[in-house]
Chains A and B, each alone.
Chain A
Amino acid sequence: MNNTLLVISREYLTRVKKKSFLLTTILVPIIIIAFYAAIIYLTVKGDDSSKSIAIIDDAGLFSQTPKPEKSKLTFTLIKGETEKSFTEKYKNEGYEGFLYIPPFSLDSPKNIVLHSPSSIGLSTSFEIDDLINEAVVNKRLVAQGIDINEYNRIQSKVSISNSIDTKEGSKRGVAGVAYGVSFACGILIYMMMVIYGTQVMRGVMEEKTNRIAEIMVSSVKPFQLMMGKIMGIGAVGLTQFGIWLIMIFIFQITIPLFFPSMTNVSAAASNIPTEELSGAAGIMEGLSALPLLKIGILFIVYFLGGYLTYASLFAAVGSVVSDDQQEAQQLIFPILMPIILGFVIMSNAVSNPHSTMAVFGSLFPLTSPIVMMGRVAFDVPWWQIFTSILLLAGCFFLFTWLTAKIYRVGILMYGKKPSWKEMIKWVFRKS
């Protein structure tokens, strides 16, 4: 058997056979899902402790104590206190905060202050903003002599639905779902690139510190050793990805068994053309509108392209450092920079998938795997996809060619970390 294949199979089997592989493969998505579920839950639900807020209304904005619906906040109107005198007291009187509304002109209300012992939450702040805005609007309506009920009837709250017209017919798109899927793909590819890239680096460092590098290169060429390691670890990544796909598939089959109502809603939803979709039904509808197969295939292509491009850089870093983690950190930093840049562009691209920045980021090979995954849900022109894949492949070959030269020298060097100048010299030296 070819030596590169032997190296690949060793790198692959030693990792896949570990108990920790199965454990992380199964646990990581569960932890990630639980983590995001917790964040979403907390954001939606907000702070669940009720708060009582005192109001000193010197402007006469509230004719009666406001009692907003569905709110954790309870308000109390305080009379006969000034902002100054009450600032010292409100905590002792059991209020979490007090709102001071100074006298103001209705045309430009300002200087309204919420006093609180610690910084207030975002949702509380929004809620109080809304409360005051509503009161000001009401006041203005009265001042203009407009009936409030009349005004409410005139106001409009429309949300548009997006019909995506393809050859297969029209599907209803849900912007939020496309956004969510894009962002998830972008994050996943970012994480996999960093995680597997560092694994390559660690593997090379292990060979160096265990001093097996010299024995290995007396049997295989350094390039075979490096490519074998990179491909073996890449195969581990694909295996992990495959297991996740199977898990998703199983979930998709089993979840409706436990929650039959969801599928019913989904089926029913397609018969409701105009009303707004919400919750699980909306997500299902949105997902079915996305080109999932295309996204899946491109995910694998870009994972491989991005991983292979960066893995050779990580391997080169591993080969020049000894077992000093700090040295490795210093050298990883410049590699992580474009990955992080890609992540930033991707976060932007999911909202503006066709902006110049997004297009550039998805063509530039150092950022394209992450950025393109943030865009594929939004119908990217094929020429951009092909150009970006070609550039990525070219970049992979260039990097592998350059880093292999650093690797073959670095792997047999012990002691001092070589300087950038020395490494550049290795690259341009004819072998």
Chain B
Amino acid sequence: MKVLELHHLKKYFATQRAVDDMSFSIDRGDIFGLLGPNGAGKTTLIRMITGIFYPDSGDIIFKGKRFDPLNDITRIGYMPEERGLYKKMKIGDQVMYLARLKGLSKQEAAKRIKIWFERFGMESWWNKKVEDLSKGMSQKLQFVTTVMHEPDLIILDEPFSGLDPVNANLIKDEIFNLSKNGSTIIFSTHRMEQVEEICDHIVLMNTGKKILDGTISEVKQDFKEHIFNITVDTPPFSSDYFQILDHTTGNWRIKIHENIQPNQVLNEFIQRGVQVVGFNEILPSLNDIFIRLVENTATARAFQTINEQ
């Protein structure tokens, strides 16, 4: 089942086509990576999904029905990149306030706060103020306030920035947990290694347009360069099937020519009596793909005049 479907979503500002004809859909329980360079339009897109902005045109379908910001936002949890909490307010009161704004009753909110605070070891924070917390602590608090109401859709913008590895793992485990329990997660970041580790499905956008859409393995297959690593005892020979790129002791990186199957290469090695210890394909990292796709576009968006309204 699709939790979220976007159809030809557009949002133009006075000088930018912030989101320009964006369509994709996300399955329930997916961890979805929304990627893109700075200024690609991710925040604008997210703000439309969270009901903060109205799209200029296009449709948002949330859980099979047209997105109705008034009622549906209680089913969404959003953690913006710019974290924000009331600095002078007591943490307990604050979490309670944010939870109740999402439609929880007082008793229900109190119960869930207790569970989450225990899980994250934050019981002693109740009467402290946010200004007393370190950056990492307030990050954890922010995460708790985002997922407290068990939303169907959780949007996390750079959730790991400012967290040490221990706390980052804690949050990561919770993200997997939430997804297992049926929440769908949109995860926006620049850190590609985290995306590879966490996400099932990604969309890459640049200058307001979608330039990539698929599961991580699909994307990697699409962008593979037929580069293999072969571990052998004797140096390989030159062949019509491949060319040698570089090598370290015992390991050679080879690029197989177009229309040649890996088995043909392996066969040739075996027939020549070379002892093959290892043979595996090297897929491009998301980082490489990202850079390759985005590199030749302008690093920053130019301001332009937009006449259409």
Contact = CB atoms under 8 A, between A and B. Distances in A.
Interface of A: 1, 3, 6-7, 10, 14, 206-207, 210-221, 412, 431
Contacts of A206: 86-87
Given A214-B82, A214-B84, A220 B54 contact: no
A207 B82 CA distance: 12
Interface stretch (B28-36, B97-105, B197-205, B260-268): B97-105
9 contacts: A14-B86, A207-B84, A210-B84, A210-B87, A213-B84, A214-B80, A215-B78, A216-B101, A219-B73
Contacts of B37: none
A206 B85 CA distance: 10
Contact of A218 (B54, B78, B97): B78
Interface string B97-129: 110111000000000000000000000000000
Nearest to A1: B100
A217 B52 contact: yes
A235 B92 CA distance: 24
B84 A218 contact: no
Contacts of B89: 14
B102 A212 contact: no
Residue with the greatest number of chain A CB neighbours at <10 A, chosen from B54, B78, B84, B87:
B84
Nearest to A14: B89
Nearest to A430: B309
Contact of A215 (B74, B84, B87, B88): B84
A7 B78 CA distance: 19
B216 interface: no
Interface string B65-101: 0000010011010111011111111000000011011
* Secondary structure class of chain A's binding surface, majority of residues: helix
A213 B73 CA distance: 15
B50 A218 contact: yes
B136 interface: no
A390 B139 CA distance: 49
Interface residues of B, number: 26
Given A10-B97, A218-B78, A220-B101, A211 B83 contact: yes
A210 B86 contact: yes
Contacts of B79: 215
A415 to B, nearest CB: 12
Contact of B98 (A1, A213, A215, A221): A215
B39 interface: no
A158 to B, nearest CB: 62
B214 interface: no
B58 interface: no
B284 interface: no
Contact of B86 (A1, A3, A212, A431): A212
B80 A3 contact: no
Contacts of A214: 47, 52, 78, 80, 82, 84
B136 to A, nearest CB: 17
A6 B84 contact: no
Residue with the greatest number of chain B CB neighbours at <10 A, chosen from A14, A215, A217:
A215
Interface string B130-141: 000000000000
B76 A218 contact: yes
Contacts of A211: 80, 82-84
B155 to A, nearest CB: 9
Nearest to A10: B97
A219 B146 CA distance: 11
Contacts of B74: 219
A143 to B, nearest CB: 79
B51 A218 contact: yes
A228 B308 CA distance: 36
B4 to A, nearest CB: 15
Interface string B44-68: 0001001110100000000000000
Given A221-B70, A412-B52, A215 B97 contact: no
A14 B78 CA distance: 24
Contacts of B87: 206, 210
Contacts of A216: 101
Nearest to B105: A1
Given A210-B85, A218-B51, 13 more contacts: A1-B100, A6-B97, A6-B100, A7-B101, A10-B97, A210-B86, A210-B87, A211-B83, A212-B86, A214-B52, A215-B84, A218-B76, A412-B47
Contacts of A213: 84
Contacts of B102: 219
Residue with the greatest number of chain A CB neighbours at <10 A, chosen from B70, B86, B145:
B86
Given A210-B87, A212-B85, A412-B52, A219 B80 contact: no
A168 to B, nearest CB: 50
Interface string B178-217: 0000000000000000000000000000000000000000
B50 to A, nearest CB: 4
Nearest to B149: A219
A82 B73 CA distance: 92
A399 B86 CA distance: 28
Residue with the greatest number of chain B CB neighbours at <10 A, chosen from A10, A206, A218:
A218
Nearest to B74: A219
Residue with the greatest number of chain A CB neighbours at <10 A, chosen from B74, B87, B88, B97:
B97
Contacts of A10: 97
Contacts of A212: 84-86
A10 B86 CA distance: 11
A210 B80 CA distance: 12
A215 B80 contact: yes
B296 to A, nearest CB: 29
B183 to A, nearest CB: 16
A303 to B, nearest CB: 27
A144 to B, nearest CB: 79
Nearest to A208: B84
A293 to B, nearest CB: 39
